[in-house]
Amino acid sequence: MNFKLIKAGVVALALLAVPFAAQAADVPIKAPYYKGASHPIVSYYNWTGFYAGVNVGYGMGTSDWSALPGVDIKPKGFMAGGTLGYNWQSGAIVYGIEGDFDWSGVKGSVACGVGSCETSNPWLATFRGRLGYAFDRWLPYITAGGAYGSVKASTTIPATSSSSNQLGWTAGIGLEYAVMGNWTAKVEYLYADLGSFDAGPAPFVNNVSFKESMVRAGLNYKFSGPLFSRF
Separation of alpha carbons 139 and 47, rounded Å: 9
Separation of alpha carbons 132 and 186, rounded Å: 13
Q: Which residues contact 199 (CB under 8 A, 6 or more apart)?
A: 65, 153, 162, 164, 206, 207, 208
Averaged confidence pLDDT in the chain: 85
Query: For the domain bounded by 48-229, which CATH number is listed?
Result: 2.40.160.20
**Whether the model pTM is above 0.85:** no
Integer CA distances (angstroms), 27 to 34, 169, 228, in order: 22, 80, 46
Whether the CB-CB separation of 141 and 173 falls below 8 Å is answered with: yes
- Of 18-27, 129-138, 194-203, the range with the lowest mean pLDDT is 18-27
pLDDT digit string, tens, across residues 12-59: 444 434 443 444 445 455 555 545 555 555 678 999 999 999 999 999
